[in-house]
């Protein structure tokens, strides 16, 4: 899969290559379309023969023979048309299959690039729109259009006036179609954008339903949703109104054209220039000649959406290329080094963490403390490789984390974020990180290390208990203990815990400290971010962060004593300040 992705980047657009992979199927559709369009002449030829041969000869046998031939031709045409539709549906499914995993990786990575929720989910909708158009009747118009000249030539053969009328009618309908596309392009884009914003807001409200209800935010968010929804409805109206008048005129024009050619043919019959059968045949031929255009007009909305989705996917896949296949590295077991790193939020160039440097060896534990908004969680995200570094390097045993594939790096990382997120599934699946080959022994070992084994056994179905989306069936403390077990699963080398005791009681604090000690004893490295000193009992180093910088780092007891001494030392009385002068900076805030 990765080799195919790398080739696609070398040879051209990934989206184009996904379509190109179905080239043999497209050729088959084109061949079937040729046969279907040739068989579409059946009706015209049948009418000519009825009027010019059967009626004049009054031959029942000729009528029966021609009718049986026409029936066979129609059955063959219907069968080939059915097969053509199924082939297009499979082309759409194949296109989706080739890109779906890449799109999922893209959706999972875009929030880490600073994308909003509406933007992050747009690639999935774009893929659905392209697949939906490929599976519809819309593409058949593209395959039928090359055969339109055959029917126009047939009209010319019957009579030049009929041919010219058909050509002029086709040109007018094509012009109306292009004009419709030009007018609908902008409104269609705005409609897609507002639909994504509405969906994102509804999904955010759904995920935070408890907070919304408890804090009395229903009415206010409802008003905000109503504004977004109204904008979406207005965009829909503008998109509809931009084409409704043109579509109505095109429909009326096609009816006028259909009746007009019959009237012109009748005039030519009266003049004795064509036969009665030619009149009906010309009407059928013109109708068939214009059929691809009418199908294109009917599916133009889907075509426009698919085209916009194609361009967006091409752009975003080029901006966020797939990770190249990297050579596997040996499991880290020696040290973690941060070298003068600057870290900013995804999508920004403003550093939150600045000039942070430290070195941790196997078996060490670091407690990271400091006031809120000092950059502790940002540093944690950089250590596990989810937030980008603006400058500097983080290395595991000398290898920068960029040299690791994300999944390979994840096997050596344990991470408990400040905001715990669990997934819909069983407790065991969540602890095992949804690895299909996870062993029960490893899951239980992680749970025991986190002090969560007895807690899990007390659940209705133990490790097989389904916890619901976000772990809604668990309490806050239970979610945190399960998430800690997930972070410890597989004995990772580097374990980063961000506020791991925020929802824990005394027994939970004790289990957390035992887990930290067990990681150090087996030769791992632990980084603990906390405001509660209870979590620092089994670390040997403490670092203080202020304003995005590491202000002090050293043995735990020495650093904590220095902080306590500084906070308990009375500050000297400030000198009388001049009028309008700014107050002096406050001392280091108390930790804990």
Q: Following DSSP, what letter does each residue of 467-518 receive, concatenated?
A: --GGGTTS-HHHHHHHHHHHHHTT--SEEEEESTTTT--HHHHHHHHHHHHH
Asked, for residue 230, whether it belongs to a domain, the answer is yes
Number of Cβ within 10 Å of residue 471's Cβ equals 22
Kindly state the tokens that stand for 123. 């690639």
Claim to verify: residue 199 and residue 75 sit in the same structural domain: yes
Asked, for residue 585, whether it belongs to a domain, the answer is no
Asked, for residue 579, whether it belongs to a domain, the answer is no
Q: What is the distance between the alpha carbons of residues 1 and 15, in angstroms, rounded to a whole number?
A: 15
Residue 512 near residue 529, CB atoms below 8 Å = no
Claim to verify: residue 69 and residue 140 sit in the same structural domain: yes
In the chain, the number of structural domains is 2
Among 287, 319, 351, the domain boundary falls at 319
Asked, for residue 262, whether it belongs to a domain, the answer is yes
Task: Calculate the dihedral angle through the C-alpha atoms of 446, 452, 458, 463, rounding to the nearest 10 degrees.
Answer: -20
Asked, for residue 587, whether it belongs to a domain, the answer is no
Task: Calculate the dihedral angle through the C-alpha atoms of 532, 538, 543, 548, rounding to the nearest 10 degrees.
Answer: -50
List own/partner pairs for 97-101 with CB under 8 A and 24 or more apart.
Answer: 98/18, 98/21, 99/14, 99/15, 99/18, 99/127, 99/313, 100/127, 101/1
Claim to verify: residue 287 and residue 420 sit in the same structural domain: no
Beta-sheet pairing, 413-416 with 494-498? parallel
Claim to verify: residue 421 and residue 297 sit in the same structural domain: no
Asked, for residue 324, whether it belongs to a domain, the answer is no
* CATH number for position 225: 1.20.1560.10
Claim to verify: residue 438 and residue 310 sit in the same structural domain: no
Number of Cβ within 10 Å of residue 526's Cβ equals 26
Q: φ, ψ for residue 338 (rounded to 5)?
A: -110, 125
Asked, for residue 112, whether it belongs to a domain, the answer is yes
Domain around 457 = 335-568
User: Would you give per-residue pLDDT tens digits along the chain (592 residues)?
Assistant: 444 444 444 445 888 888 888 888 899 888 988 898 888 888 878 887 887 777 777 888 888 888 899 899 989 988 998 998 899 989 989 998 888 888 888 877 777 776 666 667 788 888 888 988 888 888 888 888 888 888 888 888 888 898 898 888 888 877 877 777 777 777 777 777 787 778 777 767 766 665 666 667 777 777 877 888 888 888 777 777 666 666 677 777 877 887 888 888 888 888 888 877 777 788 888 888 888 877 877 777 788 888 888 888 888 887 777 777 778 888 889 899 999 999 988 878 889 999 999 999 999 999 998 888 888 999 999 998 888 888 999 999 888 888 888 888 888 999 998 888 888 889 999 999 888 888 999 999 999 998 889 889 998 899 999 887 766 778 888 888 899 999 999 999 999 999 888 777 777 788 888 999 999 999 999 999 988 777 788 898 999 999 889 988 999 888 888 877 776 655 454 444 333 333 333 333 333 3
Among 288, 319, 350, the domain boundary falls at 319
Closest CA to 466 of 432, 428, 426, 423: 426
User: Which residues, 6+ apart, have CB-to-CB distance to 44 below 8 Å?
Assistant: 154, 280, 281, 282, 284, 285, 288
Max intra-chain CA distance, the chain: 124
Asked, for residue 325, whether it belongs to a domain, the answer is no
Claim to verify: residue 237 and residue 284 sit in the same structural domain: yes
Claim to verify: residue 244 and residue 368 sit in the same structural domain: no
Claim to verify: residue 419 and residue 534 sit in the same structural domain: yes
Q: What is the distance between the alpha carbons of residues 372 and 548, in angstroms, rounded to a whole number?
A: 10
Kindly state the tokens that stand for 529. 């971010």
Number of Cβ within 10 Å of residue 311's Cβ equals 12
Claim to verify: residue 441 and residue 313 sit in the same structural domain: no
Claim to verify: residue 249 and residue 355 sit in the same structural domain: no
Claim to verify: residue 344 and residue 311 sit in the same structural domain: no
Among 319, 354, 386, the domain boundary falls at 319
Claim to verify: residue 339 and residue 296 sit in the same structural domain: no
Kindly list the distances between the CA atom of residue 318 and the CA atoms of 15, 94, 323, in Å, as whole numbers in the listed order. Answer: 10, 21, 12
* CATH number for position 468: 3.40.50.300
């Amino acid at each position: 899969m990765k080799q195919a992705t790398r080739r696609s980047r070398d040879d051209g657009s990934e989206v184009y290559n996904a379509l190109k992979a179905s080239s043999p199927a497209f050729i088959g559709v084109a061949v079937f379309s040729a046969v279907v369009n040739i068989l579409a002449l059946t009706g015209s030829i049948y009418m000519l023969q009825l009027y010019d041969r059967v009626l004049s000869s009054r031959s029942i046998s000729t009528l029966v023979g021609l009718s049986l031939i026409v029936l066979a031709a129609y059955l063959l045409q219907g069968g080939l048309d059915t097969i053509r539709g199924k082939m297009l549906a499979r082309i759409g499914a194949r296109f989706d299959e080739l890109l779906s995993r890449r799109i999922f990786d893209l959706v999972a990575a875009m929030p880490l690039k600073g994308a909003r929720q509406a933007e992050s989910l747009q690639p999935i909708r774009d893929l659905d729109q392209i697949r939906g158009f490929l599976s519809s009747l819309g593409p058949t118009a593209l395959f039928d259009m090359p055969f339109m000249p055959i029917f126009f030539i047939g009209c010319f053969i019957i009579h030049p006036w009929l041919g010219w009328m058909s050509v002029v009618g086709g040109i007018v309908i094509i012009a109306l179609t292009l004009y419709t596309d030009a007018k609908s392009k902008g409104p269609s884009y705005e409609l897609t954008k507002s639909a994504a914003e509405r969906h994102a807001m509804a999904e955010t409200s759904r995920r935070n339903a408890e907070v919304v209800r408890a804090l009395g935010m229903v009415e206010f968010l409802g008003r905000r949703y109503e504004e977004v929804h109204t904008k979406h409805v207005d965009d829909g109206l503008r998109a509809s109104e931009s084409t409704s008048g043109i579509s109505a005129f095109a429909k009326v024009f096609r009816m006028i054209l259909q009746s007009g050619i019959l009237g012109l043919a009748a005039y030519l019959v009266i003049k004795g220039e064509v036969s009665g059968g030619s009149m009906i045949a010309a009407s059928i031929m013109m109708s068939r000649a214009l059929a691809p255009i009418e199908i294109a007009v009917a599916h133009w909305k889907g075509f426009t959406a698919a085209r916009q989705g194609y361009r967006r996917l091409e752009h975003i896949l080029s901006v966020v290329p797939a990770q190249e296949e990297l050579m596997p590295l040996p499991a880290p077991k020696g040290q973690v080094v941060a070298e003068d790193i600057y870290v900013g939020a995804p999508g920004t160039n403003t550093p939150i963490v600045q000039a942070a440097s430290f070195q941790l060896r196997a078996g060490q534990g670091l407690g990271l403390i400091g006031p809120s908004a000092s950059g502790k969680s940002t540093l944690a995200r950089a250590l596990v490789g989810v937030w980008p570094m603006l400058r500097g390097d983080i290395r595991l045993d000398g290898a920068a984390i960029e040299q690791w594939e994300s999944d390979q790096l994840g096997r050596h990382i344990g991470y408990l974020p400040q905001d715990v997120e669990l997934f819909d599934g069983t407790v065991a699946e969540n602890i095992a990180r949804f690895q299909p080959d996870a062993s029960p022994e490893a899951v239980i070992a992680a749970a025991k290390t986190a002090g969560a084994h007895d807690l899990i056994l007390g659940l209705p179905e133990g490790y097989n208990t389904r916890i619901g989306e976000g772990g809604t069936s668990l309490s806050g403390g239970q979610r945190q203990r399960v998430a800690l077990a997930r972070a410890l699963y597989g004995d990772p080398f580097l374990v980063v815990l961000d506020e791991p005791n925020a929802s824990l009681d005394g027994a939970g604090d004790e289990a957390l400290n035992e887990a930290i000690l067990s990681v150090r004893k087996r030769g791992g490295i632990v980084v603990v971010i906390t405001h509660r000193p209870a979590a620092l009992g089994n670390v040997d180093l403490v670092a203080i962060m202020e304003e995005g910088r590491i202000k002090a780092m050293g043995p735990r007891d020495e650093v904590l004593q220095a902080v306590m001494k500084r906070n308990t030392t009375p500050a000297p009385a400030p000198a009388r300040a001049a009028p309008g002068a700014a107050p002096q900076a406050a001392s280091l805030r108390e930790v804990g």
